[in-house]
Chain A
Amino acid sequence: MSQKTLDARGKSCPMPIVALAKEARTLSKGQELVVLSDDEAFPNDVRAWCSKTGNHLLSVDKAEDHYRAQIRKEA
């Protein structure tokens, strides 16, 4: 499956999650999405969002000045 990237840098809580929810609607099951965010709440929030919505969080990494989360759409 192809992988999309959502650049949510420059957005603060709750907007990275709002943008992620919107983007996730366009994905089909099994498709992966990379989300970039420089919001300090993002690592915990993306974990919480995946847990709440039943999607799979593959990884969260810290890049130089932002976080990078990889998600697989399950629900």
Chain B
Amino acid sequence: MSSHSADPSAQIAELQKQVADLQARLARVEATPSAIPGLPLATSGTAQAGSGQVERVSMVVFSGTLDHAIAAFTIATAAAASGMEVEMFFTFWGFAALRDPKKSGQGKTLIGKMFSWMLPRGTRKLPLSQWNMGGAGAKMIRSIMQGRKVASVEELMAAAADLGVVINACEMSMGLMGIGQDELIDYPTLKVCGAATFIERASAGKVTLFI
């Protein structure tokens, strides 16, 4: 238990008050549906609301660092667990997390070989975006997380796969960096796509994030 929290019963009482207040406000809004045209009054499951928006989170994962990957997969699993569709789009440095350390690509160009060398090979090799200290920082955060029973990025990715989170790999980045599909992790819904797919998925969804 962390020490920063106030008395839980006081917090609960405060939250109950807030809920009652919000319910009262919602009741007023529902009583006058014409006041806000197009506002969806029902929010059930993944059904399309009146505005045409889908219960979907679209996420660009651009960063190739452990802390960003933890944030991305924490939000992705929470959203999927809350009944939302989740589509992650990995591009540029984000590919580090999708590399399978057991696989290596064939027939690489010089640039491809350079990226192979420089880009971390899988989640276990990801650095921290701050305080990495030559990899000591990443090791330290993993050990702290383990001590606090926080799920590792590998566990989060397994949960994401289980919850049906879709991973899209940006074809353009793969071409630029000389990464082949044969080098990527085994993930049940991994697809190769382009920016138009992201735009199509994101524009119809409710939440879009760039990490």
Contact = CB atoms under 8 A, between A and B. Distances in A.
| Genuine A/B complex | yes
Interface of A: 10-15, 17-18, 20-22, 38, 40, 43-44, 47-49, 52-54, 60, 62, 65, 67, 75
Nearest to A44: B15
Contact of B2 (A21, A22, A40): A40
Interface residues of B, number: 29
A47 B15 contact: yes
B45 A18 contact: no
B44 interface: yes
In order of increasing CB-CB distance, the 4 nearest A-B pairs are A21-B81, A14-B78, A12-B150, A52-B82
B11 interface: yes
A22 B95 CA distance: 29
Contact of B81 (A14, A44, A60): A14
B99 to A, nearest CB: 24
A21 B149 contact: no
Contacts of A22: 81, 162
B130 interface: no
A17 B82 CA distance: 8
Interface string B51-85: 00000000000000000000000100110111110
Contacts of A75: 44-45
Contacts of B148: 12
Interface string B156-180: 1001001100000000000000000
B8 A43 contact: yes
A62 B9 contact: yes
B136 interface: no
A71 B208 CA distance: 30
A15 B152 CA distance: 11
Given A21-B163, A65-B1, A53 B151 contact: no
A22 B161 CA distance: 13
B110 interface: no
Contacts of B159: 15, 18
Contacts of B163: 18, 21
